[in-house]
Structure 1
């Protein structure tokens, strides 16, 4: 089914005379001197192939489709790529996002590791990338490149065009609902400007941050394209980017972000304790629970990537789901609502328009493990789909030994496969001080402990991102546990305390955009 959808998508692109890459700057202006010093010309055999941009001293971000033909060097520090004083730096290796298949199918993002560091001097700067999506419809942004001009000749001088962010639903409709997830639409629709006037791999820059990467457009009428231009949404790949930037190698795992010396030392000690204990820093199992009763827990959501179920979540508004921040590591693309049984054939997945991860989150086990998913459309509430309330104040007012519940589609026994039916288990709230003592140094703040201690139940029997529900209110988000002895863990299971993030959640719900 997945292969069929890919085929249909590429067939539609072909039918619409769509080019699945962008290579032109039309109706733009020559970039001002001493501006956009982060811009890079990605070259193959001495010829300009793509744009790119410096996000660190030795890493360039560009589009995955720019890997063909294989680039071997970049030009930095000059807006004229034919100048006699250009600086060329060899590419040591490239890291293509693992799920990338072809341009037009999404995940069009790649890192280039340079053979040497580029110093931040007047001619060369880096550009920051966002931790979360933070732009609005009709916001004015910029795109630049060395692509073709109105006369269909490639430009030696960097050119820049102003574009506006386009509503994602309008964009999907203009593209006949064939767009992949995790993209941004800007320009190229009802205008003479866009990255049909851009350059593959170049950045979409909003408020001084690179928020998108030039990916593909409809090229049948380049001066006045009739569908928005498409960029890869960088914020959706923040976890993946963090690993190669830190470890200087291509990898898929999420790594701990940068921190101060004492913070790093504390984290190092905590994660070593977890390792010694056989701790996995995510919850993924339901053990000794029961099949959820019909017509119950209608707020439960299955968060899924291209391969299927990865995390739990719960509906708090018709188009907003709460889940764990570490669930972004699995590159979710849509959610399934309104069913306890994931194999039902009549399920209608709803695409994720964007996600907002709490800005201070760095890694599971360090706290702040909470994320909101903004859906592409509002899901109607009925007897199968309902929302669940959140705490009304910044204190969850939980009592020791209070009886609550946790649910998910996780495993039923250690090392067993995921289940098809939603399962639920009752857990008891544990004293915070006792929990902190059992976990030891480095235990994060703003968490709730429930189950998984002197019991055979808990979210070691839960599902990452699912809710801890007490008195009909979602008070916690499944975060991490100790999995060495899943049936009878000897430390409490840990949830993110939702009450401590209410202001952040309410700001996003009110403004419909990610906020810090």
Structure 2
């Protein structure tokens, strides 16, 4: 069968009754608050529930690939979506959709979400185990599926987590019931519920996949992406079903078989996806793959990026550093730092891009944020050659949706006018920890010394990217750690660097300097973007 024919037939079935992107639990019951502590609600920037998912590690959620469009954060630690707050929301840093996924009908409907911070495991949040090896579950074994959504056809959506027991359906029987020539079930799936029973999952959104992706107004409210749990392990991911009225006695519900993707999951947990592993470096010095592996091994062992905090600094005076910007996600969580270089542009690091929706200007105290000092981000201009911090070009311009009002609380900072060779003491500032694991809401500043670039290169065990500066974090306990990547390195009143990465497990890091993007090497790139918005 031609792939296009299969695709068209699959989505014809969708319009006739096969549903995805939000399946609801039918004829279930409220899940006890002390159960299913791995459940995650995947939401968009407005706080609207789109899909389910489940925590498999303190920083990773597993879900369905077709849930990818529009989700910005996850909610953990509550069964009641009316009880959502900043404490139980975590923004999504990266989405790892299976590389072979095209649509649910072709299979590989699985995705990993890297969270922007680790979930706090406790009495309300715990990960769920996956199978250790490929498994075959006995027919008619009773398993469990859960989600937020409708409890019956034509009913009203509920915000309390619902669960239901469903029997495993023999795969050959399932294929037979789904075989509508020339459509066949994809490989690597499980079937359970929705066949000769009124229990399973359903859905309220009957738009085709194309329309759902292109129209953010589609009305999905449900739980594709949630787990099928058998004997305490997540063996399946809710993918699709057939049924507009949720009675669907003629075709079983279909789940992605997690056990068939264990290698993919383990590989993803260990490293970045393929497109971020193609690191360029000077020929004859280090193989790109070796550089990639070493860089991320250091990250695992203690090199931190995506937000560095100021270590052993002091509170910045309210009348200083009026160019500082806090880059935040839709929940108001501080993700990165940045700095105002024109009344409508903020400069920051490219690796800060995922999840940020607005900037806060005009305050050093993030407890004093209000509508007057928040400005949404209109466009993100990430350097086109950026792949990851270790490859360099870690720089990004943010076009604001309106001009900032320049006044006694908000000012811009000048950039260098030409390539500079800085020496001596400079400053770096940011919001975050003042010591390992000690977070604060007030802007802090610290003096750091510029480190000779050749000395810096000699202290790092891989080739540093081009166009960087080094300062602090070497033979000193002052510098940055975790919380404010994207902030400026300021020398003689000019922003000469952008916080990029460091090597730091405990924020004492005496063995390798902190690394900044050298702003002076990107002046032409910056000017060209600013000219488009004159």
TM-score (norm 2): 0.53
- CA shift, 1:441, in A, is 2.1
For the pair 1:450 / 2:471, whether they are aligned, the reply is yes
Q: 1:416 maps to which residue? A: 438
Q: 2:406 maps to which residue? A: 381
Q: What is the SS of the residue equivalent to 2:438? A: coil
Kindly provide the CA deviation profile for residues 51-105 of structure 1, in whole angstroms up to 9, marking residues without a partner as x. Answer: 9xxxxxxxxxxxx9844489xxxxxxxxxxxxxxxxxxxx986454462799xxx
* Aligned equivalents of 1:407, 1:385: Cα separation in 2: 16
Runs of 5+ unmatched residues, structure 1? 1-36, 52-63, 71-90, 119-198, 205-211, 219-243
* Aligned equivalents of 1:50, 1:290: Cα separation in 2: 61
Q: 1:295 maps to which residue? A: 319
Q: 1:356 maps to which residue? A: 381
Q: 1:175 maps to which residue? A: none
Kindly report the root-mean-square deviation, in angstroms, between the aligned alpha carbons of the 2 structures.
Answer: 4.3
Q: Is the 8 A contact 2:305 2:500 kept in 1?
A: yes
* Aligned equivalents of 1:409, 1:358: Cα separation in 2: 25
Give 1:99's match in structure 2, choosing from 49, 70, 73: 73
Q: Summarize the Cα distance change of 1:116–1:270 in structure 2 as closer, same or farther, 3 Å threshold.
A: closer
Q: Summarize the Cα distance change of 1:260–1:490 in structure 2 as closer, same or farther, 3 Å threshold.
A: closer
Q: Is the 8 A contact 1:201 1:215 kept in 2?
A: no
* Aligned equivalents of 1:392, 1:413: Cα separation in 2: 35
TM-score (norm 1): 0.54
* Aligned equivalents of 1:440, 1:115: Cα separation in 2: 35
* Aligned equivalents of 1:488, 1:325: Cα separation in 2: 24
Kindly provide the CA deviation profile for residues 218-268 of structure 1, in whole angstroms up to 9, marking residues without a partner as x. Answer: 9xxxxxxxxxxxxxxxxxxxxxxxxx9x95798899646152793223222
* Aligned equivalents of 1:110, 1:273: Cα separation in 2: 22
Q: Summarize the Cα distance change of 1:281–1:116 in structure 2 as closer, same or farther, 3 Å threshold.
A: closer
Give 2:210's match in structure 1, choosing from 202, 209, 213: 202
Q: Is the 8 A contact 1:467 1:476 kept in 2?
A: yes
Q: 1:341 maps to which residue? A: 365
* Aligned equivalents of 1:405, 1:381: Cα separation in 2: 23
For the pair 1:369 / 2:394, whether they are aligned, the reply is yes
* Aligned equivalents of 2:482, 2:446: Cα separation in 1: 8
For the pair 1:390 / 2:411, whether they are aligned, the reply is no
Counterparts in 2 of 1:308-347, with a 5 A limit?
A: 308-329=333-354, 331-344=355-368, 346=370
Q: Is the 8 A contact 1:303 1:336 kept in 2?
A: yes
Q: 1:259 maps to which residue? A: 278
Q: Summarize the Cα distance change of 1:404–1:447 in structure 2 as closer, same or farther, 3 Å threshold.
A: same
- CA shift, 1:43, in A, is 4.2
* Aligned equivalents of 1:270, 1:426: Cα separation in 2: 27
* Aligned equivalents of 1:467, 1:275: Cα separation in 2: 25
Q: What is the SS of the residue equivalent to 1:333? A: strand
Q: Summarize the Cα distance change of 1:449–1:217 in structure 2 as closer, same or farther, 3 Å threshold.
A: same
Q: Summarize the Cα distance change of 1:114–1:385 in structure 2 as closer, same or farther, 3 Å threshold.
A: closer
Q: Summarize the Cα distance change of 1:474–1:45 in structure 2 as closer, same or farther, 3 Å threshold.
A: same
* Aligned equivalents of 1:382, 1:116: Cα separation in 2: 50
Runs of 5+ unmatched residues, structure 2? 26-62, 76-80, 82-90, 104-206, 220-260, 281-286
Q: What is the SS of the residue equivalent to 1:384? A: coil
Q: Is the 8 A contact 1:454 1:489 kept in 2?
A: yes
Q: Which deviates further from its counterpart, 260-269 or 441-450?
A: 260-269
Report the number of matched residues.
325
Q: What is the SS of the residue equivalent to 2:441? A: coil
Q: Summarize the Cα distance change of 1:455–1:202 in structure 2 as closer, same or farther, 3 Å threshold.
A: same
Q: What is the SS of the residue equivalent to 1:216? A: coil
Q: What is the SS of the residue equivalent to 2:435? A: coil
Q: 2:243 maps to which residue? A: none
